[in-house]
Amino acid sequence: MATTAAAAAGIALGPSLLSATPRYLATPGIDPFEEDLAAEALGAARDAGASYCDVRIGRYRRQQVSARERQIQAVSDTESYGVGVRVLVQGSWGFAATSELSKAGVVKAAREAVVIAKAARTLQRRPVELAPVKPITGTWMTPVMKDPIEVPIEEKVALLLAANEAALKVGKIRFANSGMGLLREVKTLATSEGTMTTQTFIRVGPTFSATAVGGGDFQQYNEELAPRGSGWEYIEQLDMPGNAAKWAGLAAEKLGAKTVEPGRYDLILDPTNLWLTIHESVGHPTELDRATGQEANYAGTSFVAPPEKMIGKLKYGTPLMTIQADRLQAESLARCAWDDEGVPAEQWNVIEKGTFKDYQTTREQAAWIAGLTGVKRSHGCSFADSWSSAQFQRMPNISLMPGDKDIGMDDIVAATDRGIIVKNRGSWSIDNQRYNFQFSGQVFYEVKGGKITGMLKDVAYQSTTPVFWNAMDMIGGKKSYWLGGTFTDGKGEPGQVNSVSHGCPPARFRGVNILNTGRAS
């Protein structure tokens, strides 16, 4: 009890420390041991007949802590360390991985990758051609003040229990859940073209939910605590114990909310909800491998296809819609200095003033559409979730840029006569082409005559991607921009999981179909 109280006191002081000049942790250098292992693997691949080779050595430390009411439900702390070798032999890929971190181990993996590449030639439709990239040597680390992995487990436990305790003091709250997922990843990349980099990634993902019971009903509220590429200081800044009662109060308020009347409304989406709609209706359909059918067996295809009929021609949305892809945003989950092929991080417009402009690409994919876009380089979208996984095209940060007028939610509400506000992520569904969709949220508010008149429940909005984005007629400015995201975006077969952020301001969409998902009251 004394330890818990002391840790909780320290947590309360955390946000005040952020006003000082940030003192970020030093960036680790390249490990000579790993550099030697990579050289052995590169040499073995070359001697076995590879025209190209890249070696990724990764050390992953993952921690999960979860609490329900006044007890800790689970604590896990895992570490994984190994090497993956990818090669090109006569235009075909081969990949092998090992956790045997010795010269003999990596040489064996390199030779196995070459054998696999030679076997794959019988099924290769066209030889792989890699877009050029300048070799580079360097290191990079997520800017953090405090490594969350190194924070004592007692402090993490104290924070979660304090948040739950605060929530349980709110009337009608019967259940409270909180948790956090933490990652530290150290990844070294060496290529036969001369690249040698080491990057250290830090990511944190807090969660909180509360359930209210009363009047023969129960309602749950999940606070949208965005995962971030940040340190422990971000967790402190959220002040979960201090805000838990407010969040729990929304669950209790939902018990008395009026059920929505189905129909067409002007839909006002808070950034805490809109980010997921961006992820599903813009992020996934603009992945080039989906558009060319290479993910059809598992993840699906894309309505943004074929490329020659879409680039510069598809009216994705209104002129207010500019979607930027990047691996540069501060605190974003996909932030890096180089992707898993050594391509420098950059930003580019996927959609510009409503018109579709470009896809997400890797070094292999860049040539497929270079004649249509004029872009011959990769956009740096290669990523693998482990040393044991082969890298392939994964989503960078995909964000809706704020409008020129620096307006916010209040201004959009004031300009709306009959509308509904949706906040936070809820249930959703979307078809395999990312065309027809339905999304819900956590809390909903009715707007009449430019004012919020009360809370609603059982709300979902339904549309098709082009119709939805071509209905956007108001958008917030820079001050209302917010960064959401997910720790667990799945793709590939075998499946891989990556982390990606999506920033956006609030926005209004005219005449959207609203469904009632609950029972009549």
> CATH code at 98?
3.30.2290.10
Q: What is the pLDDT of residue 519?
A: 60
In a domain, 370, yes or no: yes
One domain, residues 279 and 207? no
Determine which of 9-23, 54-68, 447-461 has the lowest per-residue pLDDT on average.
9-23
d(CA 375, CA 22): 38
One domain, residues 242 and 327? no
In a domain, 484, yes or no: yes
Give me the DSSP letters along 223-275: -----BS--HHHHHHH-HHHHHHHHHHHHHHHTTPEEPPPEEEEEEE-HHHHH
One domain, residues 75 and 218? yes
Average pLDDT over residues 320-344: 98
One domain, residues 215 and 358? no
In a domain, 333, yes or no: yes
Instruction: Tell me what the pLDDT averaged over the chain comes to.
Output: 94
Give the relative orientation of helices 240-254 and 153-168 as an angle to the nearest 10 degrees.
Answer: 30
Determine which of 239-253, 287-301, 351-365 has the lowest per-residue pLDDT on average.
287-301
Q: What is the pLDDT of residue 260?
A: 97
In a domain, 349, yes or no: yes
Contact between 447 and 413 (Cβ < 8 Å): yes
Q: What is the pLDDT of residue 39?
A: 98
Q: Return the structure tokens found at 426.
A: 């809820």
Residue 139: phi and psi, rounded to 5, are -135, 155
pLDDT digits (tens, 9 = 90+) for 339-398: 999 999 999 999 999 999 999 999 999 999 999 999 999 999 999 999 999 999 999 999
Last-in-domain residue among 212, 238, 254: 254
Whether pLDDT at 1 is above 50: no
Last-in-domain residue among 254, 279, 311: 254
Contact between 421 and 452 (Cβ < 8 Å): yes
Q: What is the pLDDT of residue 6?
A: 32
Q: What is the pLDDT of residue 299?
A: 83
Whether the link from the prior residue into 132 is cis, omega within 30° of 0, is no
In a domain, 521, yes or no: no
One domain, residues 14 and 119? yes
Look up the pTM and report it.
0.93
Closest of 358, 362, 359 to residue 383, by C-alpha: 362
d(CA 326, CA 238): 25
- Specify the 3-state DSSP secondary structure of 118: helix
One domain, residues 268 and 318? yes
Contact between 182 and 149 (Cβ < 8 Å): yes
**E-strand stretches of 361-475:** 382-383, 392-393, 397-400, 418-423, 428-430, 436-440, 443-448, 451-457, 459-464, 472-475
Whether pLDDT at 8 is above 80: no
One domain, residues 205 and 287? no
Q: What is the pLDDT of residue 124?
A: 85
Q: What is the pLDDT of residue 125?
A: 84
CA distances from 432 to 189, 367, 437 (A): 34, 26, 10
Helix and strand numbers, DSSP H then E, in the chain: 12, 25
One domain, residues 250 and 267? no
Q: What is the pLDDT of residue 407?
A: 97
Number of domains composing the chain:
2
Whether pLDDT at 11 is above 60: no
Whether pLDDT at 452 is above 80: yes
3-state secondary structure 313-346: CCECCCCCCCEEEECCCCCCCCCCCECCCCCECC
pLDDT digits (tens, 9 = 90+) for 149-193: 999 999 999 999 999 999 999 999 999 999 999 999 999 999 999
Average pLDDT over residues 280-287: 98
In a domain, 64, yes or no: yes
One domain, residues 268 and 381? yes
Using 50, 70 and 90 to split pLDDT, how confident is the model at 7? very low
One domain, residues 196 and 164? yes
Average pLDDT over residues 264-285: 98
Last-in-domain residue among 233, 254, 275: 254
In a domain, 199, yes or no: yes
Domain residue limits at 81: 2-254
Residues of the chain above pLDDT 90, percent: 93
For the chain, the first-to-last Cα distance in angstroms comes to 46
In a domain, 418, yes or no: yes
One domain, residues 292 and 440? yes
One domain, residues 8 and 114? yes
In the block, tokens 């509308």 appear at: 419
Determine which of 189-193, 331-335, 517-521 has the lowest per-residue pLDDT on average.
517-521
